[in-house]
Amino acid sequence: MNSLALDLHPPARRRRTLSWFPFAALSPSLLVLSVFFALPMGMMIGMSFTQTETFSPTLEHYQRFFTDGLSLAGFCRTALMSLLVAVSVTVLGYPVAYFLARSTTRWRAVVFALALAPELAGVVLRTYGWLIILEDRGFINDLLLQLGVISSPLPLSKNLFAVVVGLTHVVLPFGILSLMTSIQGIDPNLERAAQMLGASRLAVIRTIVLPLSVPGIVSSMLIAFTMAASAYATPALLGGAGFKVLATMIYEQVLFYIDWPFASVMAMALLLMMLAISFVGVRYESRRRSRASVSSGGER
């Protein structure tokens, strides 16, 4: 009895005395956010429900989004592209992140610099770089044609493949960083313990490192997905005129058709897609965590 009361009391009291402080600390950023973020967001939401001539509330823009065929196709293409980027960033980034998290040699600094170097060149520059490599008359096709491996250029650019390659390159450093942080949080003795119990290098990764770095994998996928879904320059340049995703379609609506309400609807669709994905990811993580803590509470 007594010990139970002692156990429960201190955390509760601490929480109460601290409660006002986080909000006070947040207030400057809340102010900035509300002016530069919430306000335009509100305007966008308002516009998406507004009739263009009469300014009366309407659902016609949404109706158009779901019925014109092109918009939904763009939505699905965006989701597919972002998913592919999320997977390829995480798969490609994982070995690099593991190396960076565990290496103690001087190679670590070299690999770290190489992994982050792409961020120094701008997105547009890197995208043009990929264009030079992937074009019909680009580096790869030229080489393969001259070697006689192929007789006509492979379709490497102006399509989904090129965009996923370009975006993977852009997003990879962010994926690597979030994976690395997560792997660094795993006690290296766990890997040694597994090894002492007879696990090969590969078995250690599969049974210990991968399961324990799930939070890093989830956040790497989330970051990659949202960055890919909102990217404009890479899909526009590497995808060509026929490759339409929400970001490029919004740009078109605003600049060429001057249709702000319809652009707002597409922006809403993009926003909801990213919110849904984040929700799923965060939910998955907290489910994992609470499953553990609930069972601890239940058994004691």
Partner 1 sequence: MNALDIELVSVSKSYAGMAVVKDIDLAIPQGEFVSILGPSGCGKTTTLNMIAGFTAPSHGDIRIKGRSQVRVPPERRNIGLVFQNYALFPHMTVTENVAFGLKMKGVRRNEAETTVKSALRSVHLEGMGERYPRELSGGQQQRVALARAIAPRPSVLLLDEPLSNLDLKLREAMRIELKEIQQQLGMTFVYVTHDQEEAMAMSDRVVVMWQGAIAQEGQPAALYREPNSRFVADFIGKSNILSVTSTATQAANLELAVGDGLILKAHKIELTAEIRYCSIRPESIAVLPPGAGGSGFANLLNATVRRVVNLGAAFEIDADLGSDVRLHVLLRATRASVPPKVGDAIHLGIDDADIQPLSA
Q: Does 184 bind partner 1 (CB under 8 A)?
A: no
Stretch that binds partner 1, among 113-121, 164-172, 183-191, 234-242 (CB under 8 A): 183-191
Place of tokens 């763009």: 74
Point out which residues pair with 50 in neighbouring strands.
Answer: 57
Tell which one of 199, 205, 254, 271 touches partner 1 (CB under 8 A): 199
Q: Does 187 bind partner 1 (CB under 8 A)?
A: yes
Question: Encoding tokens for residue 113?
Answer: 């610099």
Q: Does 198 bind partner 1 (CB under 8 A)?
A: yes
Q: Does 200 bind partner 1 (CB under 8 A)?
A: yes
Per residue in 36-49, is it b (16+ CB within 10 Å) or e — as a string? eeeeeeeebeebbb
| Cα–Cα dist 12/7, whole Å | 10
Q: Does 212 bind partner 1 (CB under 8 A)?
A: yes
Q: Does 207 bind partner 1 (CB under 8 A)?
A: yes
Asked whether the beta carbons of 236 and 253 are under 8 A apart, the reply is: no
| Cα–Cα dist 300/298, whole Å | 6
Amino acid at 26: L
Amino acid at 164: V
Q: Does 12 bind partner 1 (CB under 8 A)?
A: no
Q: Does 208 bind partner 1 (CB under 8 A)?
A: yes
- The residue count for binding partner 1 (CB under 8 A) is 22
**Comparison of 64 and 108: residue with beta carbon closer to partner 1:** 108
Minimum separation from the CB atom of position 208 to partner 1 (A): 6
Q: Does 203 bind partner 1 (CB under 8 A)?
A: yes
- The SS3 assignment for 49 reads coil
| Cα–Cα dist 300/295, whole Å | 9
- The binding site for partner 1 (CB under 8 A) comprises 187, 189-190, 192-200, 203, 207-208, 211-212, 292, 295-296, 299-300
